[in-house]
Amino acid sequence: MRYRTLGRTGVQVSTLVLGAMNFGRIGATGQDEADAIIGAALDAGINLIDTADIYPGSEEIVGKAIAGRRDDIVLATKAGLPVDDDRAHRGSSRRWLVTELDNSLRRLGVDHVDLYQIHRWGPATSDEETLSALTDLRTAGKIRHFGSSTFPAHRIVQAQWAAREGRLGRYVTEQPSYSVLQRGIEADVLPVTEEYGMGVLVWSPLASGWLSGAVRAGQEITTHRATLLPDRFDVSVPSNRARMDAVERLVKVADEAGLTLIQLALGFVTAHPAVTSAIIGPRTLDHLRSQLAAADTVLSADVLDAIDKIVAPGVDLAAHEKRDTPPSLLDASLRRR
């Protein structure tokens, strides 16, 4: 396992991060299997576990699994997305963040988290309100550092300036979506995070299963995500046909390099100098083992050049799936008020 410094925090983290979204209702991974996965991940050298309040059951499962090993783990969670239908149970206001952090700590069974992340930027709350609350939670010892997740580049910049102008703590990490098939952040987000010395923990490096080997031309799609999000794997959709074509070409590159597709995909994202770590989200112990095989994968320049010829730098093959679209492009009332 390789390790890198998380931004300018001085914290050393593994280049593979264990994402816990599939623990609980979403991925149907129960406590026993999660215990085995977390134990094997820690034994292999992974030292950062990432979860969130909106992953039903995940925080409770992680909390039970890490009991007795808390000091060995950099523990991260997130808040901000709706946890239920109550309008007050979402967002990044001081009121909600203070309340929900306590809820997360209770579910995790710990007295602090090492990284608390705002799951999405929202226009309803000012940067000053959010950063002031996070700074106070850090002062109180409930969080060690805080970061953002899936923020557009301009919002990352705005938050950095708000922190500076208000003499508040700043976001020290960003958690964007990034894979061989979704490279858009290379054009804006990654240059910005480099400029501000932020750590970057990328999610969906296997593109929801497209790069796991579970999605191949002429074969039954076996990824669990195809059941949850069938439209993302409907090959009659042009963007999905483009992804399928890219996957078949990437498999050839991986074969010629003596790598699995998973090793190619994870080696690609961790090769970018702005990326600290890639978040993997195994549902089973076998999934974890196949992904741990990429822990020490370093791609040669020739392999990286071959990937660039298949999916050009800065290109998203499924741009409509990006989660950082400004709200004004999604809600007509924000364009016409």
Task: From the candidates 55, 116, 171, 178, give the one annotated as an active-site residue.
Answer: 55
Based on the residue annotation, tell me whether 55 is a catalytic residue of this protein. Answer: yes
In degrees, rounded to 5, the angle at the alpha carbon of residue 66 between the alpha carbons of residues 64 and 69 is 140
Contact (CB, 8 A) for 114 and 75:
yes
Bin 137: left if φ > 0, else alpha if -120 < ψ < 50, else beta: alpha
Three-state secondary structure of 174-221? EECECCCCECHHHCCHHHHHHHCCCEEEEECCCHHHCCCCCCCCCCCC
Q: What angle do CA 197, 118, 205 make, to 5 degrees?
A: 70
Q: Which of 267, 268, 264 is nearest to 251 (CA)?
A: 264
Matching residue, tokens 């808390």: 70
DSSP for 282-323? -SSHHHHHHHHTTTT----HHHHHHHHHHS-TT-BTTGGG-S
Estimate to the nearest angstrom the gap between the alpha carbon of 228 and the chain centroid.
18
C-alpha atoms less than 13 angstroms from C-alpha of 231 in its C-beta half-sphere? 3
Q: Which residues pair with 271 in a beta bridge?
A: none
Question: How far, in Å, CA of 284 to CA of 192, rounded?
Answer: 35
* Catalytic center residues: 55
